[in-house]
Amino acid sequence: MFSVLPNLEILDLSHNNLIGKIPNCLPMSLSVLNLQANCFDGNIAFGFPEGCGLRNLNLHGNQMDGLLPRSLVNCRMLEVLDVGNNNISDAFPHWLESLPDLQVLVLRSNKFHGSVQSTKESPSFPKLRVLDLSSNYFVGALPVQYIENFNAMMDPHKDGGSPEYMMVWTRTRYYQYSLVVTWKGFEYELQGILIVFSSIHLSNNMFEGEIPDVIGKLSSLKGLNLSHNNLTGHIPPSLGNLTNLEWLDLSSNKLAGKIPNELVSLTQLSVLNLSNNHFVGSIPQGNQFNTFGNGSYEGNVGLCGIPLSKSCDGIGTPPSSFQEKDKLWRFDWRVVVLGYGCGVVFGLLMGYLVFRIGKPKWFVSLFDGRPSQSGRKMRKARRLVQRRR
């Protein structure tokens, strides 16, 4: 197929309904192979020869299985590798750490397994800016050896000026990279990857142990998702140094202790999820923390303070003045209704008596001003007494 296209540099067949196997021979001239969102299946059988010029390999959203081909190490210029949402079953490809220009590594939603640890002492993944290992079967501690070498994430890029995107230039045109990401809980396809964009997604695995302090050095990080693992210990105060962070999700772990006040300095943070852990004490206040609701903290019975209804003095959050006025208003109306009800009952009773036995003379004299017979007799007796005197 490709033998008649010896100079092909970009092949983008993404978002179609193509099926079957991927041809195992690719032209050496190829810089971009984008087969995202198709129905290709089987092993990634094609080999990558020495001198491979591939910069972007995107197989996201197919039905590929088997192992990740080791011959990828021959693609020394590879910048983006995305094999997310397939059925690949393999150990973590630590051999990719020798690729000097790799910036985006997406292995999410496969069957990768085992620990994620470096096998060499030299710096690994120095240019990596996007790492997505979510929804696999990784175990063990978080990859500290890799994290401390993520030099590209330690560069505090500024967002000012014209946006710059990852792309490849060919002899006739440029090609802008795309990427499927989970961002702030939603899945998006970025039609361009900003060079300032950096994120780490390790959620939905079986990582354990503590969150390493060294993550606090990744100053350009915009998203950090460590949710749904078995992490223990405290939140390191060093996370307060991630001043570009917009999304932090540590939910559904076994983290404990207090939420460090240093996190208040994360003024770019728009999404925070610390739910379903074992945090205790008062929730920090100020800056972005004044905007987060109950959902950010639910499932932590030891937490107290705003926005939760549980106050930190154990008495409960005092009602607002509006609530107090509302209670008084409801009380006043209850008194009015009670008096009105009693009056109605009394009136009905008197009407019944009048109907049954006629108008009582004392009642008539009381309301129509005419004296009753007993009243006349009493006045007549008084006049007789006065005459005798």
Q: What is the DSSP string of 223-286?
A: EEE--SSEE-S---GGGGG-TT--EEE--SS--EEPPPGGGGG-TT--EEE--SSEEEEEPP-S
Residue 224: which CATH number?
Answer: 3.80.10.10
pLDDT value, residue 47: 83
Q: Does position 259 have pLDDT exceeding 60, yes or no?
A: yes
pLDDT at 190 over 50: yes
- Average pLDDT in the 216-244 region? 97
Same domain membership, residue 139 and residue 89: yes
Look at residue 155 in the predicted model and tell me its pLDDT: 81
pLDDT digits (tens, 9 = 90+) for 83-92: 999 999 999 9
What does pTM read for this prediction? 0.79
Confidence band for 274, pLDDT divided at 50, 70 and 90: very high
Does 357 lie in the same domain as 295? no
Within a 10 A sphere around the Cβ of 118, how many other Cβ atoms?
Answer: 18
The reply to whether 47 falls in a domain is yes
Residue 244 belongs to some domain of the structure: yes
Please tell me the total count of domains within the chain: 2
Of 64-73, 93-102, 144-153, 317-326, the poorest mean pLDDT is in 317-326
Q: What is the pLDDT of residue 46?
A: 79
Q: Give residue 280's pLDDT band: very low, low, confident or very high (50, 70, 90).
A: very high
pLDDT of residue 330: 46
Q: Comparing 76 with 383, which gets the higher pLDDT?
A: 76
Query: Considering only 126-130, 249-253, 261-265, 376-380, which range has the smallest mean pLDDT?
Result: 376-380
Q: Where among 273, 304, 335 does a domain terminate?
A: 304
pLDDT of residue 376: 47
Place 28 in a pLDDT band, splitting at 50, 70 and 90.
confident
pLDDT beyond 70 at 154: yes
Per-residue pLDDT tens for 159-168?
556 778 888 8
- Decide if 310 is inside a domain: no
344 lies in a domain?
A: yes
**Looking at residue 161, what is its pLDDT?**
63
**Of 271, 304, 337, which marks where a domain is finished?**
304
Residues 336 and 212 in one domain: no
Domain carrying residue 361: 321-388
Averaged pLDDT, 303-322: 71
State yes or no: pLDDT of 363 exceeds 50. Answer: no
Q: Are residues 326 and 365 in the same domain?
A: yes
pLDDT for residue 329: 40
Question: Is the same domain home to 147 and 295?
Answer: yes
309 domain residue, yes or no: no
User: Looking at residue 346, what is its pLDDT?
Assistant: 54
Q: Is the pLDDT of residue 357 over 70?
A: no
244 and 342: one domain?
no
The C-alpha atoms of residue 379 and residue 370 are separated, in whole angstroms, by 14
Mean pLDDT of 57-82: 96
With respect to residue 115, please indicate whether it lies within any of the assigned structural domains.
yes
Same domain, 206 and 263: yes
**pLDDT at residue 160, as a whole number:** 57
* Spatial contact of 13 and 36, defined as CB atoms under 8 Å apart: no
> Looking at the domain assignment, is residue 278 inside a domain?
yes
For the ranges 12-26, 145-159, 241-255, the lowest mean pLDDT is seen at 145-159
Q: Last residue of a domain, which of 258, 276, 304?
A: 304
pLDDT higher at 333 or 242: 242
Q: Are residues 289 and 333 in the same domain?
A: no
Same domain, 292 and 380: no
Number of helical (H) and strand (E) elements in the chain, helices listed first: 4, 25
Provide mean pLDDT across the span 53-65.
96
Instruction: Decide if 59 contacts 83 (C-beta within 8 A).
Output: yes
338 lies in the same domain as 250 = no
Kindly state the average pLDDT of the residues 12-21.
95
Q: Say if residue 264 is in the same domain as residue 331.
A: no
- The span from the CA of 264 to the CA of 333, in Å, is 45
User: In the structure, what pLDDT confidence band is assigned to residue 193 with cuts at 50, 70 and 90?
Assistant: confident
199 vs 172, more confident: 199
Query: Which stretches does DSSP call E strand in 83-144?
Result: 87-88, 104-106, 113-115, 130-132, 137-140
Q: What does the pLDDT read at residue 374? A: 45
Q: Give the pLDDT of residue 79.
A: 96
What is the model's pLDDT at position 313?
A: 82
Residue 244's pLDDT is 95
Residues 261 and 353 in one domain: no
Q: pLDDT averaged over the chain?
A: 83
Residue 314 lies in a domain: no
